[in-house]
């Protein structure tokens, strides 16, 4: 009760005061049924004495664990806890039930501390295998007798076989794949143009090339033998002009339409020479008015008509008469005959000359003479400003002949030079 009064006397000071520790201990002392320890003396009342009396500690002793008995000579060595009863067989082997019970538990750490007299484990050593040295070659014969050398050689041959067949890859040994024969034959793709690739760098003689062109010309219409000459790269320049005409000994197999602008007697001569179109200033006016068409291949005029031809110069273009070409002259009859027989040629923008040299049906000798005449005229038309060039070198790079719809064949420079020399000799005679 005194504790409750003391508690109530302190309750008005704080709204929710926490109970003091000594009050909690008093409440436990009065309301607890457990025996209470003896209260300690107040240190303030007894300043000279110890404020706590030492509690006497009773010593506790534990019985020592007996050591495991040493195994006798005739007894088998088993762990200390493996004690078998008398139900063992006569031969000294324990029953299966006893063995299973013992083998279920393993040695603990404390038990291993007493295993000082356990069986010793002897270390196992293996002989080191090293490569034989030159001085140890005498022992090879002994290994051969024992059969070890044969096994090593078999293994070595197997590894070499795998390496040869590509089985050793990425640092590991793999079994080489065997090639499986297909039950059907393999199809070999035939490449087109094999024959052309074989003859790509081949050049022909003039006669042989003409014979091949005639053999490959199998069209229904009458094909023309054409020559295509690739000139040197220097002739791409516009200031170097290469144009001329050649009179073929056997003709080109084509009739050219010739127009003559002349008056009076010159016009009569042109008609007698075989000109297709003859006229004077009235012809020029009709062309300007659009009444007449330019349907001729070559144009010849007298010097007196040049002032009238200036009106239609934009229509004539390359057909405009010129003194250098021999188309502006007073000898009309000779000019008309040459225009009917001569074949013009000139280079294009890529420095290539294209010219017809007769019909494919012509005999081989006639075509050869036409080719010789063209090569001779081509050499005479060489520009004067072309440097570093001899007869053919530095001037003609390649010479091909072909039919209108056939294959082209290259001709050697030596055979071309011989054909040109032979034509020049016959022309001189």
Q: Residue 169: helix, strand or coil by DSSP? A: strand
What local confidence, expressed as pLDDT, does residue 370 receive? 94
Both 389 and 428 in one domain: the answer is yes
Of the chain, the percentage scoring pLDDT greater than 90 comes to 29
Both 299 and 428 in one domain: the answer is no
Both 388 and 265 in one domain: the answer is no
Could you tell me if 245 and 345 are in contact, meaning their C-beta atoms sit under 8 angstroms apart? yes
- Output the domain CATH number for residue 358: 3.30.190.20
Both 299 and 336 in one domain: the answer is yes
Whether pLDDT at 230 is above 90: yes
What local confidence, expressed as pLDDT, does residue 86 receive? 45
- Provide the token pair at 86: 């008398």
Both 232 and 265 in one domain: the answer is no
Both 283 and 227 in one domain: the answer is no
- Average confidence (pLDDT) over 340-361: 91
What local confidence, expressed as pLDDT, does residue 375 receive? 94
* CA–CA gap between residue 41 and residue 203 (Å, rounded): 138
Domain stops at, among 341, 375, 393: 341
Q: Is-above-0.75 flag for pTM?
A: no
Residue 195 located in a structural domain: no
Convert the pLDDT of each residue in 66-118 to its tens digit: 776 665 555 554 444 444 444 444 455 555 555 455 445 566 666 766 666 65
Both 262 and 335 in one domain: the answer is yes
Whether pLDDT at 177 is above 60: no
Could you tell me if 230 and 352 are in contact, meaning their C-beta atoms sit under 8 angstroms apart? yes
What local confidence, expressed as pLDDT, does residue 292 receive? 85
What are the φ/ψ torsions at residue 115 (nearest 5 degrees)? -90, 65
Residue 376 located in a structural domain: yes
Residue 250 located in a structural domain: no
Convert the pLDDT of each residue in 261-304 to its tens digit: 999 999 999 999 989 999 999 999 999 998 888 888 899 999 99
Q: Residue 240: helix, strand or coil by DSSP? A: coil
Residue 280 located in a structural domain: yes
Residue 223 located in a structural domain: yes
- Average confidence (pLDDT) over 126-152: 64
Whether pLDDT at 63 is above 60: yes
Whether pLDDT at 354 is above 90: yes
What local confidence, expressed as pLDDT, does residue 170 receive? 45
Alpha-carbon distance values, 150 to 137, 156, 196 (Å)? 16, 10, 60
Both 238 and 358 in one domain: the answer is yes
* CA–CA gap between residue 210 and residue 408 (Å, rounded): 10
Residue 172 β-bridge partners = 169
* CA–CA gap between residue 369 and residue 378 (Å, rounded): 14
What local confidence, expressed as pLDDT, does residue 325 receive? 83
Whole-number average pLDDT of the chain = 75
126: phi > 0 → left, psi -120 to 50 → alpha, else beta; which?
beta
Question: Which burial class, exposed, middle or buried, applies to 121 when counting CB atoms under 10 A from its CB (0-12, 13-18, 19+)?
Answer: exposed
55 C-beta neighbours (distance < 10 Å), count: 6
Could you tell me if 396 and 405 are in contact, meaning their C-beta atoms sit under 8 angstroms apart? no
Domain stops at, among 298, 321, 341: 341
What kind and span of H or E run contains 236? none
Whether pLDDT at 212 is above 90: yes
- How many domains would you assign to the chain? 2
Could you tell me if 336 and 270 are in contact, meaning their C-beta atoms sit under 8 angstroms apart? yes
Both 296 and 418 in one domain: the answer is no
Q: Residue 52's pLDDT band (boundaries 50, 70, 90)?
A: low
**166 against 351, higher pLDDT:** 351
CA 115 from chain centre, in angstroms, equals: 74
Residue 404 located in a structural domain: yes
Both 229 and 370 in one domain: the answer is yes
What local confidence, expressed as pLDDT, does residue 156 receive? 84
- Provide the token pair at 220: 């229904």
What local confidence, expressed as pLDDT, does residue 202 receive? 86
Domain that holds residue 272: 255-341
What local confidence, expressed as pLDDT, does residue 81 receive? 47
Residue 390 located in a structural domain: yes
Could you tell me if 301 and 261 are in contact, meaning their C-beta atoms sit under 8 angstroms apart? yes
Question: Which burial class, exposed, middle or buried, applies to 230 when counting CB atoms under 10 A from its CB (0-12, 13-18, 19+)?
Answer: middle
Burial 407-417 (b: 16+ CB within 10 A, else e): ebbbbbbebbe
- Provide the token pair at 402: 């072909």
* CA neighbours closer than 13 Å in the CB half-sphere of residue 424: 12
- Provide the token pair at 356: 């017809």
Domain stops at, among 341, 366, 392: 341
* CA–CA gap between residue 183 and residue 220 (Å, rounded): 49
Burial 66-76 (b: 16+ CB within 10 A, else e): eeeeeeeeeee
């Amino acid at each position: 009760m005194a504790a409750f009064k003391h508690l109530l006397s302190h309750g008005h000071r704080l709204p929710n005061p926490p109970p003091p520790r000594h009050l909690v201990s008093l409440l436990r002392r009065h309301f607890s049924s457990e025996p209470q320890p003896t209260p300690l003396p107040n240190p303030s009342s007894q300043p000279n004495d110890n404020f706590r009396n030492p509690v006497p500690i009773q010593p506790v002793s534990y019985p020592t664990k007996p050591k495991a008995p040493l195994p006798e000579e005739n007894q088998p060595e088993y762990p200390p806890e493996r004690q078998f009863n008398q139900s063992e067989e006569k031969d000294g082997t324990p029953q299966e039930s006893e063995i299973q019970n013992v083998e279920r538990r393993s040695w603990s750490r404390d038990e291993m501390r007493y295993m000082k007299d356990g069986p010793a484990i002897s270390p196992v050593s293996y002989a080191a295998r090293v490569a034989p040295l030159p001085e140890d070659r005498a022992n090879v014969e002994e290994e051969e007798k024992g059969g070890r050398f044969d096994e090593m050689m078999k293994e070595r041959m197997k590894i070499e076989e795998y390496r040869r067949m590509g089985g050793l890859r990425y640092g590991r040994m793999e079994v080489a794949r065997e090639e499986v024969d297909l039950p059907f034959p393999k199809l070999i793709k035939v490449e087109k143009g094999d024959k052309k690739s074989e003859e790509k760098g081949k050049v022909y003689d003039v006669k042989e090339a003409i014979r091949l062109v005639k053999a490959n010309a199998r069209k229904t219409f009458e094909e023309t033998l054409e020559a295509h000459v690739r000139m040197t790269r220097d002739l791409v320049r516009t200031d170097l002009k290469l144009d001329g005409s050649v009179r073929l000994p056997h003709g080109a197999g084509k009739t050219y339409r010739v127009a003559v602008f002349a008056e009076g007697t010159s016009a009569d001569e042109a008609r007698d020479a075989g000109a297709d179109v003859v006229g004077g200033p009235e012809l020029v006016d009709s062309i300007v008015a659009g009444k007449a068409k330019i349907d001729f291949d070559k144009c010849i005029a007298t010097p007196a008509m040049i002032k009238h031809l200036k009106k239609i110069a934009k229509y004539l273009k390359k057909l405009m008469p010129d003194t250098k070409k021999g188309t502006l002259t007073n000898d009309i009859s000779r000019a008309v005959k040459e225009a009917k027989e001569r074949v013009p040629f000139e280079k294009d923008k890529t420095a290539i000359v294209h010219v017809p040299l007769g019909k494919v049906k012509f005999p081989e000798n006639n075509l050869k003479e036409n080719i010789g005449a063209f090569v001779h005229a081509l050499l005479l038309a060489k520009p004067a400003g072309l440097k570093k060039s001899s007869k053919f070198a530095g001037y003609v790079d390649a010479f091909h002949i072909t039919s209108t719809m056939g294959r082209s064949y290259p001709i050697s420079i030596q055979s071309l030079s011989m054909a040109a020399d032979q034509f020049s000799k016959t022309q001189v005679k």
